[in-house]
Amino acid sequence: MVDTMLEAMVQRKSETESTAEQKKIKLDISDLTVSYGKEAAISDVNFKIYENEIFGIIGPANAGKTSFLKALNLMNTFDANMKVEGKILFNGRDIHQLKNVYALRSRIGVVFPLPVGLPMTVYENVALSPRLRGIKDKASLDEIVQRCLQRSALWDEVKDRLDSLGSLLSGGQQQRLTIARALSQEPELLILDEFSIAVDPVTTMRIEEVLKELKNEMTIILVTNLVQQARRLADRTAFFLEGECIETGDTEALFNGQVENSKTTDYIEGRFG
Amino acid sequence: MSVESMSVEAMPVENKLTESLFAESQLNVKNKKIQSLYRVLFLMMTLLLILPVLIILGTLIVKGGSMISIDFLFTDPINGMTEGGIFPALLGTVWLVSLALLISVPLGIAAAIYLSEYASENWFTRAINLAIINLAGVPSIVHALFGVGAFVMFFGFGTSIMAASLTLAIMTLPVVIVSTREALQAVPHAFREACWNMGATRWQTIRRVVLPNAVSGILTGVILEVSRTTGETAPIMFTGAAFFLPFLPQSVFDQTMALSLHLFVVSTQVPNVPESLPYAVALVLIGMVLLMNSVSIAFRMYLRGKKKW
């Protein structure tokens, strides 16, 4: 009797282990080309991003990193000049065929390089997305605001001034506010585009700790021009150069020189870019 | 020893540089003189601008101020408009201006939101923008004739408050559109993108982020337009404003008196008017405009205080 229970437990454990090994694919990108007018920002990009990993994207300026992010979020519907070709499978479904782009965007949280504190109070900044989803009940909003601010490591600093303007916070605080705002969307995918540009090193470290925890609940894409930040955080990393994805691979392997293209090592070691 | 003497020798060069910062050179003095000269010059020009305003207000107050009273504001003109008050004209102006704004403001704001937030940059949008600029450049007397043709005759409103207000509305529309569009575009684009990225539609973004932050600019434009509309004479002359009416308008399809036209009439068309009457009418007219301008400024300051970025 006890034996069979034990056996069942062992079996269940091995099941979870095996599912952890064959990770679920969150994003499957194939032949993705993004162009503005006649100029291609990225061309023929192919890779997969797994669930619950931090996927780093490194590369010099003008490599097409931000264009890639914009394509994920279907920002081309707001920019007539921007053209996206190729396939992006989100949870196995092609995002160019979905009917409700707004719902997709709300499942994807984005944090920009420079913090964009919307011109409203701290509370309203975080409550905006839930409100857009139709949540009106004050108690649930309060709960969401507190939870998101706590998870972005900002709660202790702003809990007494939730009604002051978000734009009056310091740069680092504003960036954590935008992270809280992104979290309030309850995203499956969190995109951070060079989030630490306007943030001091201490805050950067705090946010990095937060990201490591968030990884358990969502998939994170981390675009960064600090290669060491990618090394600290990313499970796998892609190297973009001049609109092409040169290679993707296990972060440690890339940093240890196991690369297909020597340019990757050159960039990582600071020989150009 | 030798090291010390070297550093002592090097000192004077550095000192010279430092000293030059604290001394006044010839060039320096000249630049300073020119700079204060320009300052005074520009100040004088600014004062020159204020001068006409002070002269106009001063003359009006001195020559017409004594006539202003509650009675003057709230009674009818009598004895062939040479005596009595200006109540029908005052009320008529309020009617005309408020109806005109009721028409032009919603239309103008809607058009501006479309142009600023929805329209893509193509020949169609460019044509609309060109039309708006041209509309703003049409002289008011041409608007008046258009109003006669369109509203008085074609739509059959007759000479009425309705026809006059519609004419005024069309005249103010381009300014409302342009000022609203400017106010909308002053809201940083990053706010919109942040909102779109959260899954908000264009309209949700406009309602929650863009409009609340543009409202002070929009209102300032509108209120300034109110004061301009108040003073317009030509567009209402043929479309709805009457020379003299012994009764108050009963509906928007009646004619009305108006302050601006009344001023024209008592200063040029009616014999034996006491000298102070036109000045008093002008003072009331300009008082209304100034009042509305100060409301606009106060409101702007209030909203600026709440400005959020």
Whether A50 shows a pLDDT value over 70: the answer reads: yes
Answer whether A102 sits within 8 Å of B200, measured CB to CB: yes
Per CB-CB distance under 8 Å, the chain B contacts of A132 are 198-200, 204, 208
pLDDT score for A77 = 80
Angstrom distance (rounded) from CA B282 to CA B263: 6
Across residues A47-59, what is the average pLDDT?
A: 90
**CA–CA gap between residue A245 and residue A233 (Å, rounded):** 20
What is the CATH classification number for the domain harbouring A127? 3.40.50.300
pLDDT at B176: 92
The number of distinct structural domains making up chain A is: 1
Residue A6: its pLDDT value, please? 55
Assess if residue A115 is contained within a domain: yes
Instruction: Give tens-digit pLDDT for A160-214.
Output: 888 888 888 888 888 899 999 999 999 999 999 988 887 888 888 988 998 998 9
Contacts of B177 (CB under 8 A, 6+ apart): B108, B111, B112, B115, B132
- For the stretch B166-183, pLDDT in tens is 999 999 999 999 999 999
> Looking at residue A11, what is its pLDDT?
53
Residue A75 lies in a domain: yes
| pLDDT score for A21 | 52
ipTM over 0.85: no
CB pairs A-B closer than 8 Å: 69
User: What pLDDT is attached to residue B39?
Assistant: 95
Which A residues 121-180 touch B at CB under 8 Å?
128-129, 131-132, 165, 167, 178
The DSSP bridge pattern shows strands A54-58 and A236-241 to be parallel
Q: Do B198 and A106 touch (CB under 8 A)?
A: yes
Cβ contacts of B307 on chain A, cutoff 8 Å: 119
Do the Cβ atoms of A116 and B213 come within 8 Å? no
Cβ distance A119 to B308 less than 8 Å, yes or no, reads yes
In a domain, A10, yes or no: no
**Which residue among B197, B201, B309 places its CB closest to the CB of A73?**
B197
User: Cβ contact (<8 Å) for A129 and B191?
Assistant: no
Give the model's pLDDT for residue B124. 92
Is A4 contained in some domain?
no
User: Domain B68-305, what fold?
Assistant: MetI-like fold (1.10.3720)
Q: Is the pLDDT of residue B227 over 90?
A: no
* HEC-encoded secondary structure of B90-115: HHHHHHHHHHHHHHHHHHHHHHHHHH
CA distance B67 to B284: 10
Query: Quick check: B309 pLDDT over 60?
Result: no
A47 lies in a domain? yes
pLDDT at B226 over 90: no
pLDDT for B183-217, tens place per residue? 999 999 889 988 888 888 899 999 988 998 898 88
State the DSSP string of A159-197: TT-TTSBGGGS-HHHHHHHHHHHHHHT--SEEEEESTTT
Element (H, E) at A83: strand A82-90
Q: pLDDT band at residue A54, thresholds of 50, 70 and 90?
A: very high
**Residue A213: which domain range?**
23-268
Give how far B109 is from chain A: nearest CA, Å: 21
Q: Report pLDDT for A8.
A: 55
Query: pLDDT confidence of B251, banded at 50, 70, 90?
Result: confident
| Domain presence at residue A141 | yes
Chain B contact set for A80 (CB, 8 A): 120-121
Question: Which chain A residues are within 8 Å of B204, Cβ to Cβ?
Answer: 132
Question: What is the rounded average pLDDT of the residues A88-96?
Answer: 88
pLDDT more than 70, % of chain B: 94
Q: Confidence class of residue A93 from pLDDT cuts 50, 70 and 90?
A: confident
- pLDDT tens track for B258-291: 889 989 988 888 888 888 888 999 999 999 888 8
- Structural domain contains residue A179: yes
pLDDT bin (cut points 50, 70, 90) of residue B223 is confident
A106 to B199: CB separation less than 8 angstroms, yes or no: yes
